A and B are shown apart, each in its own frame.
Chain A
Amino acid sequence: MNTPQAPALAHPPVSDARAAEPGLLDGARALFARDLRLAWRRRADALGPLVLCALVIVLFTLGVGPSPAQLTALGPGVLWVAALLASTLPLSHLWADDLADGTLDGLMLSPDPLALLVLARVAAHWVTTGLPLVLAAPLMALPFGLDGAQTLVLMASLALGTPVIALLGALGAALTLGLRGGVLLGALLVLPLLAPVLIFGAGAVQAQAAGLGATPHLSLLGAALLLAAPGAALATAAALRIATE
């Protein structure tokens, strides 16, 4: 049953109508679907960032002690730092795994623009690691006593900020691909760049708590996302080409 059959002469011809004109986004869609399927097959791995984020928050509240005033004041910052760490760490393997199993060549060889494929991979990564953080934010915010409006602002800031983290993290992972100690170097490169995201993300919740309204902070986060999406994708594509030459 494991014996290959006669050569390919016998099988029906590949349908030319189908093969002729795949759309520009077909490769990106295929990659996105593949990564989601892969993440679904390894659901336990995808929970890692969520558990890490929850652990950082629990450890922090244990360390600070049960003073509600202090926890409320520190809450936004702690929540954001925890989310930042939890979404940066799993990114370090994004391209290294592809390089090891040879699928990175498949991206380079595709007729589709590499930057588009990079965006598809980062989007799939965000859906499996960033989106769960956004959805779990109300739960994570419980120890800090945020009210309803503040929790909504926290979710909005995470929804805008975590994609930026994913984009820049993917760039850091591509820049350090194949280097010894690349994981640590990638984090050192990327974490300082993420300072604005942290400032505006935590600032949005603090501003809401102070009654100032979070719109300016959220707008700036949105602007960062609009800037990072094309910029980081193009830079990542260039870094990947250099790494595989």
Chain B
Amino acid sequence: MSDTPDLSLDAVRVERGGRALFAPVSLRLGGGELLRVTGANGAGKTSLLRLMAGLLPPAAGRVCWRGAPLAEQRERFARDRLFLGHEPGLKDGLDPTDNLLAATRLAGHPVAPAQAAQALAEAGLAPLRRVPVGRLSQGQRRRAALARLALARAQPLWVLDEPFNALDAAATGWLHGLLRAHLARGGCAVVTSHWPLALDGVAARELAL
């Protein structure tokens, strides 16, 4: 096992209802690299991302992290990757602060309340950090979910499904900054997005399904 981030897919296939979603995918993603997955609606972007996050076992092929198959290192991989899915993963009845504290503890990377407050302030949610998530707009919910990225320095692999959805220009710039900082630290990221990423100085690889 190596210590640098290294996600590799070897002839991986995903099936839905007995039908293969896309041609077998082989790729390798190392530290400092960003992969943007594109494809039409229903092409299997979300399934591929859930597979890379370890939520979906491949129908064929192998997914390896740091040189070993995911199935052999569930706990280690769980601490190394951060997955943000299509739904923000927030409880409507709780405020962004409580959501953030519970989610980071559950992910095995607990943070102090002061750190959570700062992450939410960076997300532009300082005045709303004690307002139940159910009363926030779509974009504000997305910001609250993405605030986890500001606290995810210890997780080298980010897997983000449509993170730019519902974000305004300012929040898009903030997310670009988070991604740039993550890649500069030597992390790697997989992102689905319908628009090209504007990351100065970062070569985003593309995978079209």
A interface residues with partner B (beta carbon < 8 Å): 1-9, 11-16, 18-19, 22, 26-27, 29-31, 33-34, 37-38, 41-42, 100-103, 105-112, 117, 244-245
Contacts and interface: CB of A to CB of B under 8 A. Distances in A.
B153 to A, nearest CB: 5
Interface of B: 53-57, 74-76, 78-79, 81, 83, 85-94, 98, 101-103, 105-112, 115, 118-119, 121-127, 132, 143, 149-151, 153-154, 170-171, 173-174, 176-178, 180-181
A37 B93 CA distance: 9
Contacts of B91: 34, 38, 101, 103
Nearest to A40: B93
B89 A5 contact: no
A15 B124 contact: no
A38 B170 CA distance: 31
B105 A14 contact: no
A1 B153 CA distance: 26
Given A1-B127, A8-B178, A9-B177, 17 more contacts: A5-B124, A5-B174, A7-B180, A8-B122, A14-B151, A29-B105, A30-B101, A30-B105, A34-B94, A102-B87, A102-B89, A106-B89, A108-B55, A109-B53, A109-B55, A110-B78, A110-B106
A240 to B, nearest CB: 11
Given A14-B153, A34-B91, A103-B90, A109 B171 contact: no
B177 A2 contact: no
The 3 closest A-B pairs by CB, nearest first: A7-B177, A102-B87, A4-B174
Contacts of B121: 5
B169 to A, nearest CB: 10
Contact of B87 (A3, A11, A27, A101): A101
A34 B104 CA distance: 12
25 contacts: A1-B126, A2-B125, A4-B122, A5-B121, A5-B122, A6-B122, A7-B174, A8-B149, A8-B181, A14-B111, A14-B153, A14-B154, A22-B108, A34-B91, A34-B98, A38-B93, A41-B94, A42-B93, A101-B92, A102-B85, A105-B83, A109-B53, A109-B54, A111-B74, A111-B79
Contact of A27 (B106, B126, B177): B106
Given A1-B126, A26-B105, A110-B108, A7 B89 contact: no
